[in-house]
Amino acid sequence: MLQEKIDKAPSPPKVRSSSPANAGKDWASYVVPQCWYSFAEEDHAVWDLLFARQVELLGTRVVSPFLDGIDLLRLSHPGVPDVEGLNAILTPRTGWRTVAVPGLVPDQIFFAMLAERVFPVGNFIRTREQLDYLEAPDCFHDMFGHIPMLAHHDYAEMTRHVGELGLAAIGGDQGYKAARLYWHSVEFGLAREKDELKILGAGLASSFGEAHFSLESDAVERLPFSVERALNTPYKHDAFQPRYLVSESLESTIGQVLALTPERLLAL
């Protein structure tokens, strides 16, 4: 749940009142109880509708570890998942855990969470009237889109590393680079798998409209993924992407991101 904002050219250096490392320690204050019992029957019905619709839409158009994660985490169990149930499976497997938050968290807080293997998920779900339009990521985007891949050991480690890179980038007044890297891999990345183009990013995996669009539209650019290109490619936060970065494989994305040091990120 990266704060979605207009991606723009670097802003002038700002004076910081505290180091990113210190500011990141405040992330726990953004966590709220999920209050799973307060989800209404209608909320669970909306989850079930979204889940069934998205699984059918995706089919095998998503990288296979995503589908493995759905099974491992038993996300097909009816109703909104409770974070404790998810964590009971996820944490022993990869060390990650989910926590509930009431909405978007600031980028620095978000990256600090990732760096500690914590993924924030919204404590709310869209209404039936808003199935395809969201003002802020809800628990369907967060849990269905993001959490399955966090059951994959190497991808989970890559995501933790992105958190560290994010804190370093913000500390160097280059937070936009971390946002772009995250956006073009974790949210809207594509990857080849056995010569087929597949969805990698959570923003695509959880989107009814953009999932097929990203793979099939003739109106977009698809460029080879590299961390250097990701760091230098702006994105749209409020519309379908005009371009997608395509990795030659999931393993290639993971390897490239893990090899990126904070120093190199700041220099590229």
**Contact residues for Fe ion, defined by CB under 5 A:** 202
Q: Which of 4, 146, 161, 210 is catalytic?
A: 146
Residue indicated by tokens 């889109």: 145
Least distance to Fe ion, CB of residue 145, Å: 6
Least distance to Fe ion, CB of residue 158, Å: 15
- Beta carbon nearer to Fe ion, 21 or 239: 239
- Beta carbon nearer to Fe ion, 46 or 105: 105
Least distance to Fe ion, CB of residue 1, Å: 6
- Beta carbon nearer to Fe ion, 170 or 202: 202
Least distance to Fe ion, CB of residue 11, Å: 23
Is 141 among the residues known to form the active site? yes
- Beta carbon nearer to Fe ion, 144 or 225: 144
Least distance to Fe ion, CB of residue 155, Å: 14
Is 146 among the residues known to form the active site? yes
Residues in the chain: 268
- Beta carbon nearer to Fe ion, 202 or 250: 202
Q: Which of 152, 184, 185, 206 is catalytic?
A: 206
SS (H, E, C) the chain: CCCCCCCCCCCCCCCCCCCHHHHHHHHHHHCECCCHHHCCHHHHHHHHHHHHHHHHHHCCCECHHHHHHHHHCCCCCCCCCCHHHHHHHHHHHHCCEEEEECCCCCHHHHHHHHHCCEEEEECCCCCHHHCCCCCCCCHHHHHHHHHHHHHCHHHHHHHHHHHHHHHHHHHCCCHHHHHHHHHHHHHCCEEEECCEEEECCHHHHCCCCHHHHHHHCCCCEEEECCHHHHHCCCCCCCCCCCEEEEECCHHHHHHHHHHCCHHHHHHC
Q: Which of 161, 164, 185, 187 is catalytic?
A: 187
Q: Which residues have a catalytic role annotated? A: 141, 146, 187, 206
